[in-house]
Amino acid sequence: MVLTLYGNVHSTCTARVRTVLEELSILHEFVEIDFSKPEVLRSADVLAVQLFGQIPYIDDAGFKLFDQKTALFDQGASIEVSNFDPPASGLGFEIIVKQYIPGLETDPALVAKYKAQLERKLEGYESLLGRQKFVTGEELTIVDLFHLPWGAMLKRQGNDILESDKFPNVKRWWAEVSARPSWQKISAGAH
């Protein structure tokens, strides 16, 4: 039985899951869901698998993920979700996503706020990555991969802060993580 991933190629959350599947060389089928049509996400087929009508989701009975280094993993996951994702996704929403939503315009004050927040958070990353190779320690984990979609979106905005000499440890880490073959495949738009 082949694992099936339902998602959208423009979704950062879908890109995260696709990258992990590629990284782990998990054979899978990708099914594109058009999330611009709310009725698709609320269809009986989608709701039968994903009760909240959200993507991405995986259809693979009994599929489980776990990490043996739970404490470090939990700490790293908390760092990503609390310190990187909010300002990076805020910038992505303001600068890129709003372009595609009629009636919404980029708010320069929010852009400045998110940029300042991200820079402050990267000071913490710089210190952390000066002590260890990856966010959770010396081994690459899903936490590092979760940074990829929003980090790439920063680059598309013309924001090269992850490659800045101001944060050499972040720059080293970002170069290694973003060069992973799994991410190169996903970011190139391969299905």
CB contact at 8 A, 28 and 81: no
Who's near 63: CB < 8 A, 6+ residues apart? 3
CB contact at 8 A, 28 and 1: no
Give the amino acid at 116: A
Report the pLDDT value the prediction gives residue 53, as an integer from 0 to 100. 77
Beta bridge partners of 29: 4
Read off the pTM.
Answer: 0.75
Kindly report, residue by residue over 29-77, the tens digit of the pLDDT: 999 988 888 788 888 887 777 766 778 888 876 453 333 667 788 889 9
User: Domains, the chain, ranges and CATH?
Assistant: 3-65 (3.40.30.10), 70-180 (1.20.1050.10)
Report the pLDDT value the prediction gives residue 43, as an integer from 0 to 100. 85
Work out the angle between the directed axes of helices 148-156 and 168-178 (0-180°, nearest 10): 110
Report the pLDDT value the prediction gives residue 51, as an integer from 0 to 100. 65
List the chain residues with pLDDT less than 50.
62, 64-67, 191
Residue 56 CA: distances (Å) to CA of 26, 35, 118, 152: 16, 10, 26, 19
Distance CA 162, CA 151 (A): 7
